[in-house]
Amino acid sequence: MSSTELDELYQEWVRWTLASGLTPDQVPDRAREEGVTAETFRPLAGRTIWRDPDGRPYVRVDDARKARELARLTELLNGGRPSVTDARRDRNRWSYSGLFGLNAGDAGTAVKRGALVATPEGTMMAVAGPKAVRAVPNPVDWFTARGGTTWGEIYVVNGSHPDPAGVLRTTVESGRRPPGSGAPSLARLLRHERVHSEQWARFGYTRFIWEYVIRHDPRKPCEHPLEREAGLADGGYRC
């Protein structure tokens, strides 16, 4: 990545940081807090960046080994504070490996042959690829519902898709909800799902499943305390 490209990313960080509500005088302090220089964004060199209708960048994750770093940088580039949200990523570190997380070179067992993108919320969105065998359900269909489900740091869109990267790109560039979701927009949906990521971090793996699936009825989202906390309207629930 050339120095010009790095400068452009740094300038973009300044723009989105100002858009977050800071004044120009506060930007240098934020840069020191987050350790931001033009070199900070060098890991984005050669990465595919999709933009929503407002121009916000989403970075495609094509190497799962870099997933956490890219998620963090995407949040930072969008004017966020990853130094604050790192604690959530630490608690949800299982998201980056294993069945519902990531394996080197792909998006994990549950979304094998899928595609993954880092979002402005510092989380990730995944779309599963086509079924390996037509008669056998894709594992993602066993563990997602309605318009998708968040597992730790990853919001997984429901269903199997022949062109998962195309689904992600279309969703990001249109700013509209992904297939199957009833959310009013992608930005509001990701805000809703980010709260679920915070809940995973707060409760931990086992207790979150207990709270979401056993203690409360997931078939009644309008009465479910975790869905209410995440924002029913943002999630597309009409109560």
Q: pLDDT digit string (tens) for 69-81?
A: 999 999 999 999 9
Q: Report how far residue 171's alpha carbon sits from residue 10's, in angstroms, rounded to the nearest whole number.
A: 26
Bridge-based pairing state of the strands 57-60 and 149-151: unpaired
How many angstroms separate the most distant Cα atoms in the chain?
A: 60
17-93-224 Cα angle (round to 5): 80
Rounded to whole angstroms, what are the CA distances from 123 to 7, 16, 27, 145? 25, 17, 24, 19
pLDDT at position 105, please? 46
In angstroms, the CA 96 to CA 151 distance is 11
The contacts of residue 117 (CB under 8 Å, 6+ apart) are 50, 58, 59, 60, 61, 124, 125, 126, 168, 172
Which pair of tokens denotes residue 19?
């858009």
pLDDT, residue 229, reads 97
Report pLDDT for 45.
87
Q: Report pLDDT digits (tens) over 104-122.
A: 545 555 556 788 999 999 9
With both helix axes pointing from N to C terminus, report the angle between 82-91 and 186-203 in degrees, rounded to the nearest 10: 60
The DSSP code sequence of 138-158 is: PHHHHH--TT-EEETTEEEEE
Cβ(99)–Cβ(109) under 8 Å? yes
- Show the low-confidence residues of the chain (pLDDT under 70): 1, 98-112, 131-146
Q: Say how far apart CA 83 and CA 76 lie, in whole Å.
A: 9
| Pairwise CA distance, residues 178 & 207, whole Å | 28
Model pLDDT, residue 140: 55
Q: Residue 159: its pLDDT value, please?
A: 81
